[in-house]
Amino acid sequence: MTDQFTIQIDSAMAGKRLDKILADQLPDISRSRLKALIKEGHVTHSTSSSTATVTSPSQSVRADDMYIVTLPEPESAEPEAQNIPLDVLYEDADVIVINKPAGMVVHPAAGSPDGTLVNALLHHCGSSLSGIGGVKRPGIVHRIDKDTSGILVMAKNDKAHQGLSIQFADHSIERVYGAVCRGHPNPAAGRIEGNIARHPVDRKKMAVTDKGGKWAATHYKTLSNYQHQGIDLASLIECRLETGRTHQVRVHMAHIGHALVGDPVYSRGKWSSKIPADLRGTLLGFARQALHARVIGFIHPVTGKTLKFEADYPSDMQKLISALDQYSV
């Protein structure tokens, strides 16, 4: 049953912020939660003549007005199985290796409650999941960003989950990414090292920091350079990860001045006006970070066998690389 709370504004409350008044009157609901409810349209404002949905937590309240807070039905704590096609590279009783398309979120979260890789795996694996922590769900031991494509390995039982987790913790998993970055890295190959933490100002970003954060290291190697009339357009690079931090390749490459093509978060600078017309749309219009988890290698957590898998670039990156190839130097 949906819960509703009615708050009548008196003269002592008048002039104060709506979210503060609601938090004072509904102590069992956090102020941050109430802010979210307001922004999501779950609070209505009633006067003697009208009723309207409120969307601004900071608006001032007036005496004699009334606010109704509606708590939506809670979502299921466990993700549901959904019949979503998967590109399965390998599967046995213990692990499954997937080539994830760009645009798919790995795990349900706020803003992405379904349509995720986990929802797809629950349907695909079905009864072959013996459970992680007593619950039938795939064991997520690593993730890649929504708009990064490429290979992921998941566990199907506790033993496999523990074995893979150990390999990720000791950095023994082989992970190779292919990417297209802006400009030409100099030197052409190297090792980028630096702690990664949440950006101090923009909380949607990560950043290399001298204070706090988690140690991270990325080895990069230039495979091809692309140039036109003396302008360093872009480079095809290979990145090998020693660690696996949030946005690691994206942050490290931006840190050395060579953000990934199409990256909406870390690639903000203007492009040269000398980019050839036949390349401009493909290069400047690339719709995501040009990053693909191309290779993964690990020791099977149950059999002990060495496994290695590779996935070709998806069609959008193949088109981008093909368009750049005519400017290879």
pLDDT above 90: residue 77: no
Q: What are 112-135's pLDDT values in tens digits?
A: 788 999 999 999 998 888 766 666
- In the chain, alpha helices (H): 18-25, 31-39, 117-125, 158-169, 248-255, 277-284, 315-325
Could you give the C-alpha distances from 125 to 85, 154, 206, in angstroms and in order?
12, 11, 34
Question: For residue range 228-238, what is the model confidence (pLDDT) as tens digits?
Answer: 999 999 999 99
Considering the chain, what is the average pLDDT of its residues?
91
**pLDDT tens sequence across 146-186:** 999 999 999 999 899 989 999 999 999 999 999 999 999 99
For the entire predicted model, the pTM comes to 0.76
- Average the pLDDT over 256-263 and give the result: 97
What is the band of 14 on the pLDDT scale with cuts at 50, 70, 90? very high
By three-state DSSP, how is residue 57 classified?
A: coil
Annotated active-site residue 202? The verdict is no
Q: Are 185 and 258 in contact, with CB atoms under 8 Å apart?
A: yes
- The CA distance from 228 to 274, in Å, is 8
d(CA 108, CA 193): 31
Of the pLDDT bands very low, low, confident and very high (cuts 50, 70, 90), residue 61 is: very high
178-195 pLDDT tens trace: 999 999 999 999 999 999
The burial class, CB within 10 Å (0-12 / 13-18 / 19+), for 285 is exposed
Residues recorded for the chain: 329
Cβ pair 2, 73 in contact under 8 A: yes
User: What pLDDT, on the 0 to 100 scale, is given for residue 82?
Assistant: 94
Amino acid at 25: Q
What gap in Å lies between CA 25 and CA 17, rounded to an integer?
12
Amino acid at 162: Q
Cis ω for the linkage preceding 187 (within 30 of 0): yes
The predicted structure's pLDDT at residue 139? 87
Distance in angstroms (rounded) separating the CA atoms of residues 176 and 293: 6
Q: Is 248 helix (H, G, I), strand (E, B) or coil?
A: helix
Residue type at position 63: A
Given CA atoms 276, 279, 283, 287 in this order, what sign does their dihedral have? positive
Residue among 24, 65, 87, 145 flagged as catalytic: 145
- Closest listed residue to residue 323, CA positions, set 269, 278, 290, 277: 278
The predicted pLDDT at position 73 comes to 67
For residue range 191-221, list pLDDT tens digits in order.
Answer: 999 999 988 888 788 999 988 889 999 999 9
